[in-house]
Amino acid sequence: MAIEGVVGSDVLGEALALIREEVDRHFDVLLPVPDDARARLFEAMRYAAIGGGKRLRPLLLTATAQMYGVNREAAVRTGCAVEAIHVYSLIHDDLPCMDDDAMRHGQPTVHLEYDEATAVLAGDALHALAFDILVSPQVTSDPFVRSELVACLAKGSGMDGMAGGQMMDIVAEEAGEGDDGFDLHTVTRLQQLKTGALLSASVEMGAILGRVPPEGRTHLKSYARDIGLAFQIADDLLDHEGDEELAGKALRKDADAGKATFVSLLGAERAREQAEMLVRQAIGHLSSYGEEAEVLRAIARYIVERDR
Amino acid sequence: MAIEGVVGSDVLGEALALIREEVDRHFDVLLPVPDDARARLFEAMRYAAIGGGKRLRPLLLTATAQMYGVNREAAVRTGCAVEAIHVYSLIHDDLPCMDDDAMRHGQPTVHLEYDEATAVLAGDALHALAFDILVSPQVTSDPFVRSELVACLAKGSGMDGMAGGQMMDIVAEEAGEGDDGFDLHTVTRLQQLKTGALLSASVEMGAILGRVPPEGRTHLKSYARDIGLAFQIADDLLDHEGDEELAGKALRKDADAGKATFVSLLGAERAREQAEMLVRQAIGHLSSYGEEAEVLRAIARYIVERDR
């Protein structure tokens, strides 16, 4: 996908490689396998949390935090809280009763590598771990910042955020593409909740760590809203046209299920144009920032250019 | 089960009736069914959270908070956070891949009344709701108290608490009663995590709301540890001897599965004696308190005297 003025891709490549290594290192410390009957739970949590994924949420969080001079370790640790929520949602999403997926990040899903009960529990335990991380001294010693982080993450992941969006996604699948199918407005709302809310929380939590007051977060939240939607359109396009091996998961499931997506509703060409427009708009929201927002701008471009 | 000196049973009966009504009323406000495709999620959350259960955890929390003059609405709201965690754990526990239970509180379990995917999501959304409740202004305006509450609940429900205990429980079931079966020490540890950790968190969160510093919570935590274990032994006895209709769920599943329990390891008589000893010991930990701890004492007795 061609976006004009692709600069800073080296900056982004380095930032992506660094955050991957940092998140893996933190999860390794956060999840020591105990010498008791809980070992299988911790092993399953490590299997899901370490080594895979783009780490887009921790990247957004640390890139935002960096703009405000936040301590790197604190930002990475907070990024792990958001990533723990993301990983738990993937484990539960892949379950037989949900999307019934066999592959994730190029390896068997947790319920196949372990078993379904362990997968449910590993997701639940990662969910609790996210909030446990936020109250650790490594994140902040300021109780006000801490409670703002908790509020932001709980809101972004719960019934008015990610979990609510996942419910809409299940209903959309049942509704199919016919007269009962979702229209563009409803699919947009669905995706704003399902993926947008947590991406948005990532950016906002970076700003919270940087002690940016709520009224100072407006442009950042607009940026996050636009890249969240662009991200989902790009995902629909990859699902439509992508390479399963590169993606490390099964593709074209939405079309097979007859589910309404941005591609089925707009067609591939208009969907692509829409994603590119959103990326330009997202970058526009950062116009009051200088060089310090270069990574956020590069992330916006990367979101529609990635091949997996 | 006969414990000498049963007093205050009217006090307890009133407290139980009151907290049931209050928790139902709060969940009704917390879970308004939206006019969109998330409706099924909210309905399933309401189905699980409203109307059923003894509300033991909110009762422990409010009874402790009351000793320190905490505002009633704040204590009940905080109790709903703990109860949301408890309810989510029951929904996930009842899933076909976990205990595969058909009845809970005398009605079909969530995955049978709705479907499995909705049950997984309703559990996840109640999990997030718990933390969302803790950061609401109705609980406290003090960020320090708020972050202590979050830390206590995350610890009690996660891999070093409830979720860890549930993993041990699954392993115990696989191990059975033979040479690989769990011994008394391991079953005690399992139960301290699986049910003890959240009961303990309930008492501690009441003390946190009352601004009791950590060193002042020692006796209350000892009380909670003892009633937690007594509660589980009583549960094993009820599973062994109880009435399915009164219990509102299937019984004698542990024995059928050949799982090591307090009753299988100690025999019913010694298990009963152990539970009674723990209740006396729990009440002993409250000796420095006067009249204000009468409800906590009554709860300790109720825990082994209840018939469901």
Interface test mutation site (partner B, options A116, A129, A150, A162, max chain B beta carbons within 10 A): A150
State the pLDDT confidence band at B273, using cuts at 50, 70 and 90: very high
Using a pLDDT cut of 70, give the percent of chain B over it: 96
pLDDT greater at residue A189 or residue A2? A189
pLDDT score at A5: 43
State pLDDT tens for residues A129-138: 999 999 999 9
pLDDT score at B177: 60
DSSP string, chain B: ---S----HHHHHHHHHHHHHHHHHHHHHH-PPPSSTTHHHHHHHHHHHSS-S--HHHHHHHHHHHHTT--HHHHHHHHHHHHHHHHHHHHHHTSTTTT--SEETTEE-HHHHS-HHHHHHHHHHHHHHHHHHHTSTTT-S-HHHHHHHHHHHHHHHSTTTHHHHHHHHHHHHHH-SSTTS--HHHHHHHHIIIIIHHHHHHHHHHHHHTT--GGGGHHHHHHHHHHHHHHHHHHHHHHHH--HHHHTS---HHHHHT---HHHHH-HHHHHHHHHHHHHHHHHTTTT--GGGHHHHHHHHHHHH---
Average confidence (pLDDT) over B277-293 = 97
How much is the ipTM here? 0.94
The answer on pLDDT for A179 being more than 80 is: no
The answer on pLDDT for A241 being more than 90 is: no
The answer on pLDDT for A96 being more than 60 is: yes
Contacts of B46 in chain A (CB under 8 A): none
Contacts of B124 in chain A (CB under 8 A): 88-89, 92, 123-124, 127, 163
d(CA B197, CA B60): 13
Average confidence (pLDDT) over A88-110 = 97
Least Cα distance to B238 among B275, B202, B206, B204 occurs for B275
State which residue of chain A sits closest to B171, comparing Cα positions: A37
d(CA B198, CA A92): 23
Average confidence (pLDDT) over B197-220 = 97
pLDDT score at A308: 72
State which residue of chain A sits closest to B134, comparing Cα positions: A151
pLDDT score at B7: 47
pLDDT score at A177: 60
Contacts of A33 in chain B (CB under 8 A): none
Average confidence (pLDDT) over B187-198 = 95
Please judge whether A158 and B134 are an interchain contact, meaning their C-beta atoms are less than 8 angstroms apart: no
pLDDT score at B26: 98
State pLDDT tens for residues B150-167: 999 999 999 999 999 999
Q: Kindly report the CATH number assigned to the domain that includes residue B208.
A: 1.10.600.10
Tell me how close the Cα of A122 comes to any Cα of chain B, in angstroms.
Answer: 8
pLDDT score at A54: 93
- What are the distances in angstroms from CA B21 to CA A190, B71, B85, B108, B248? 35, 17, 19, 22, 20
State the pLDDT confidence band at A1, using cuts at 50, 70 and 90: very low
Q: Which of B128-142, B220-234, B247-261 has the lowest mean pLDDT?
A: B247-261
Using a pLDDT cut of 90, give the percent of chain B over it: 83
- Residue B251 in any domain: the answer is yes
- What are the distances in angstroms from CA B41 to CA A124, A160, B18, B115? 18, 11, 28, 11
Sort strands B103-104 and A107-108 into parallel, antiparallel or unpaired: unpaired
Burial class (CB in 10 A: 0-12, 13-18, 19+), B52: middle
The answer on pLDDT for A4 being more than 50 is: no
Please judge whether B147 and A147 are an interchain contact, meaning their C-beta atoms are less than 8 angstroms apart: yes
Number of structural domains in chain A: 1
Q: Which of A177-186, A288-297, B200-209, B284-293 has the lowest mean pLDDT?
A: A177-186
Cβ contacts of A35-39, under 8 Å, gap ≥ 24:
A36/B168, A36/B186, A36/B189, A37/B167, A37/B168, A37/B171, A37/B172, A37/B182, A37/B186, A37/B190, A38/B159, A38/B164, A38/B167, A38/B168
Please judge whether B163 and A41 are an interchain contact, meaning their C-beta atoms are less than 8 angstroms apart: yes
- Residue B17 in any domain: the answer is yes
d(CA A190, CA B66): 43
pLDDT score at A150: 98
State pLDDT tens for residues B222-247: 999 999 999 999 999 998 888 888 88
Which of B120, B147, B161 is nearest residue A146 as measured by Cβ atoms? B147
Please judge whether A132 and B118 are an interchain contact, meaning their C-beta atoms are less than 8 angstroms apart: no
- What are the distances in angstroms from CA B267 to CA A307, B228, B240, B247? 62, 19, 10, 21
The answer on pLDDT for B5 being more than 50 is: no
State pLDDT tens for residues A23-49: 999 999 999 999 999 999 999 999 999
d(CA A228, CA A242): 19
Q: Which of A39-48, A236-245, B157-166, B280-289 has the lowest mean pLDDT?
A: A236-245
State the pLDDT confidence band at A247, using cuts at 50, 70 and 90: confident
The answer on pLDDT for A205 being more than 80 is: yes
- Residue A1 in any domain: the answer is no
Contact A150, A131 (CB under 8 A): yes
Please judge whether B167 and A121 are an interchain contact, meaning their C-beta atoms are less than 8 angstroms apart: yes
Pairs across A and B, CB distance < 8 A: 165
Average confidence (pLDDT) over A286-301 = 96
Which of A120, A121, A159 is nearest residue B41 as measured by Cβ atoms? A159
The encoded tokens of residue A3 equal 């976006």
State pLDDT tens for residues B80-97: 999 999 999 999 999 999
d(CA B308, CA B302): 11
- Residue A232 in any domain: the answer is yes
Contacts of B257 in chain A (CB under 8 A): none
d(CA B33, CA B50): 13
Average confidence (pLDDT) over A201-207 = 98
Average confidence (pLDDT) over A186-215 = 96
Beta bridge partners of B103: B108
Which domain covers residue A252, as residue numbers?
9-305
Please judge whether B147 and A143 are an interchain contact, meaning their C-beta atoms are less than 8 angstroms apart: yes
pLDDT greater at residue B64 or residue A52? B64
d(CA A62, CA A19): 8
Average confidence (pLDDT) over A46-68 = 97
Contacts of B41 in chain A (CB under 8 A): 159, 163-164, 167
- Residue B150 in any domain: the answer is yes
The encoded tokens of residue B199 equal 């009961």
pLDDT score at A252: 79
pLDDT score at B178: 65
State the pLDDT confidence band at A14, using cuts at 50, 70 and 90: very high
State pLDDT tens for residues A105-130: 999 999 999 999 999 999 999 999 99
Radius of gyration of chain A (CA): 19
Interface test mutation site (partner B, options A27, A80, A127, max chain B beta carbons within 10 A): A127
Please judge whether A150 and B158 are an interchain contact, meaning their C-beta atoms are less than 8 angstroms apart: no
State which residue of chain B sits closest to A162, comparing Cα positions: B125
pLDDT score at B132: 97
Residue reference for tokens 């999307």 = A99
d(CA B87, CA B50): 10
Which of B125, B159, B172 is nearest residue A158 as measured by Cβ atoms? B125
Contacts of A150 in chain B (CB under 8 A): 131, 134-135, 146-147, 150
Interface test mutation site (partner A, options B93, B114, B159, B259, max chain A beta carbons within 10 A): B159
Contacts of B92 in chain A (CB under 8 A): 120-121, 124
Which of B117, B164, B171 is nearest residue A170 as measured by Cβ atoms? B117
State which residue of chain B sits closest to A165, comparing Cα positions: B38
CA atoms within 13 A on the CB side of B301: 17
Please judge whether A41 and B167 are an interchain contact, meaning their C-beta atoms are less than 8 angstroms apart: yes
Average pLDDT over chain B reads 93
Interface test mutation site (partner A, options B150, B152, B183, B193, max chain A beta carbons within 10 A): B150
Looking at residue A214, what DSSP letter applies?
G
- Residue A4 in any domain: the answer is no
